[in-house]
Structure 1
């Protein structure tokens, strides 16, 4: 029985053939590949046909585009294409995987007796021309979910959906991915959520190459900043509600540290990426922060004001 489903929510064509080729080049081909065409204007089926005789490839075209409105909902309807496989690898239409990723995944399952609900690969960053830009910080082999949350808030982890393989049973138990506005930080929250309470296991060796092309959603985040900031605020609120007092004794991380690092993270995001948001938006932001951190509204408003006074004077 094939245990792994590799799923690609597809729309763009520019790097799609390269992405498929990296999957088809796996040294272990014990997987089924599912492609969910998000009503793309490009001929993705013709590209898929080039690989149909090399792997078990299942292509499905959706009649309505969904990813442009709700990225996470598009992920979920693509996951629904899968069969009886026990494991899901949600890949992308422009990233690349080293040829021994599947092989090392099955080795990790054997070593750990399939104990963990989430396995992941370390990542590298490449540009539009496949040129190596940087290697993301190497994650520890095993990390508990509370420590993972802290390190994500500190920008010490580069977790994204294409570098995760997760147990379908866990996905079903939790009702799918964590969905925030514009899919902002949904991959981070999902990584934490699925790895709770057992922890996350990082596979040593092979990497997923995440593409910074200037054409994907992450690369174009600044263009949608007035909505994306509220997606990030949803993540900040979620992460502060995820853990409880018992967790800090189990995992050795204080809840106060998550609170502090959440504010530090939010301050950095606002300063670096969201200059130009109008006054009324910052009032909304202060309201959300007040609720997330259970603090007086005035204190939250002053927090917003102090981190970047110039924001209040700039035009949207």
Structure 2
């Protein structure tokens, strides 16, 4: 059975989310809505959907998402029952009408090879209009390979084996930025992710969403550093040399464009040196000086 967990806070686009659930061609799912002490009550709206699909609504009296979004996800997941599979759906995202049907169509083959299922995705704006192509993926792909190619990722487009969520948990990065990407790596045991390209999840990008908001760039940058630092220090053994160098180039940019974070420099330097990447480290130092003189 599939549980669709919605960490709720914003009412603005919530009706479109609910309507997409009511429109599913396969209704074999249960929805668990965890209200993060929102000032915008969804109760009146939810009453309109009482008989359209199966759901449980719970209001938490303390706002947690403002402190730790990943902890809000986890307490919402704790509302679920004995379902094996968990989708964490944003309160502004929308499922294509055949998402659940496609999930069950593929489930027998999927369970033998992966703990994660991914759907194709498309970005939409506040009016529900597409603002991107449909992002499809290889049918079967190593999660490590995914982070090294040009694509995108959002939490709503994945279905996770609940056992993996409970055993591993989400890493608590600021704004949960990259927490979902790391979850894909860790919940898959750095192995295969299976994609269902025949169904699409629509990801809403507006100034109300974390992805679309431009006032949180500093926190996003901090989370980006934490993510790459975690991979390079805690999961280094999962990557070959060329992948480590690429990750180091990404984390190096976190310092090059924010030199006030001097501790970043020392942590990055340590990673280069303990991996004996002396030539690449010289390139890192050179890029710092180049960036300084270019700004002058």
TM-score by length of 1: 0.84
Q: 1:293 to 1:56 in 2, by over 3 A?
A: farther
Partner residue of 1:213? 206
Matches of 1:305 and 1:127, distance apart in 2: 37
Alignment equivalent of 2:225, drawn from 225, 228, 233 = 233
Q: 1:18 to 1:304 in 2, by over 3 A?
A: farther
Partner residue of 1:23? 21
Partner residue of 1:257? 242
- 1:294 deviation in Å? 4.2
- Does 2:115 align with 1:135? no
Q: 1:263 to 1:194 in 2, by over 3 A?
A: same
Computed over aligned residues only, the root mean square deviation of the Cα atoms, in angstroms, reads: 2.5
- 5+ unaligned residues in a row in structure 2: which ranges? none
| 4+ runs deviating over 4 angstroms | 267-271, 298-301, 310-313
Q: 1:43 to 1:198 in 2, by over 3 A?
A: same
Q: 1:148 to 1:97 in 2, by over 3 A?
A: same
Per-residue CA deviation, residues 53-108 of structure 1 (Å, 9 max, x unaligned), is 11111000010111112111111111111011010000010011100000101111
Matches of 2:104 and 2:286, distance apart in 1: 48
- 5+ unaligned residues in a row in structure 1: which ranges? 248-253
Per-residue CA deviation, residues 201-242 of structure 1 (Å, 9 max, x unaligned), is 00121111111112111212x423333322111110122232
Matches of 1:60 and 1:310, distance apart in 2: 55
Number of corresponding residues: 290
Partner residue of 1:167? 161
- Does 2:267 align with 1:288? yes
Alignment equivalent of 2:193, drawn from 185, 189, 200 = 200
Q: After alignment, is 68-77 or 260-269 more displaced? A: 260-269
What secondary structure does 1:258 align onto? helix
Per-residue CA deviation, residues 110-161 of structure 1 (Å, 9 max, x unaligned), is 233553100010110111111111125421010113312323xxxx231211
Matches of 1:225 and 1:300, distance apart in 2: 26
Partner residue of 1:148? 146
Alignment equivalent of 2:170, drawn from 173, 177, 180 = 177
- Does 2:260 align with 1:302? no
Residues 142, 202 of structure 1: 8 Å contact kept = yes
